[in-house]
Amino acid sequence: MQIRALMYFDELVRTNSMRQAAENLNVAPTAISRQIENLEYHFGAPLVERSSRGVKLTAAGELLAARAGRTLRELDHVGQLIEDLKGLQAGRVAIHANGATVANLLAPALAAFSLKYPKLHFEVTISSARQAVEAVNGGEADIAVTLFAPPVSGTKIRLRSEISYDLIVATGHPAAERQEVGLKDIADYPLALPDQSFGFRQAFDALFEKAGLSFDAVFVTSSLEMLKELVLSGAAATLLPALTVRREIEAGQLRAVPLAPRSAIRTHVDLCVAPDRQLSFAASKLLDFIERFMRERAGGPAGKE
Kindly indicate the confidence band of residue 44, based on its pLDDT and cuts at 50, 70 and 90.
Answer: confident
**How confident is the model over 268-303, as pLDDT tens digits?**
888 999 887 778 778 888 898 888 888 876 554 444
> Which sign does the torsion angle of CA 226, 231, 234, 237 carry?
positive
The model carries a pTM of: 0.60
Q: How far is CA 217 from CA 22, 29, 39, 229, 266, in A?
A: 49, 53, 56, 15, 20
Most trustworthy range by pLDDT among 45-54, 114-123, 213-222, 266-275: 213-222
Indicate the angle between helix axes 59-85 and 281-298, nearest 10 degrees: 90
Q: Is the pLDDT of residue 88 over 50?
A: no
Residue range 132-153: mean pLDDT, rounded: 81
More confident residue, 158 or 53: 158
Amino acid code (one letter) for 187: A
Domains in the chain (CATH in brackets) are 3-72 (1.10.10.10), 84-157+268-303 (3.40.190.10), 162-267 (3.40.190.290)
Q: Is the pLDDT of residue 84 over 70?
A: no
Distance CA 249, CA 171 (A): 9
Q: Are 147 and 160 in contact (CB under 8 A)?
A: no
| Per-residue pLDDT, 81 | 64
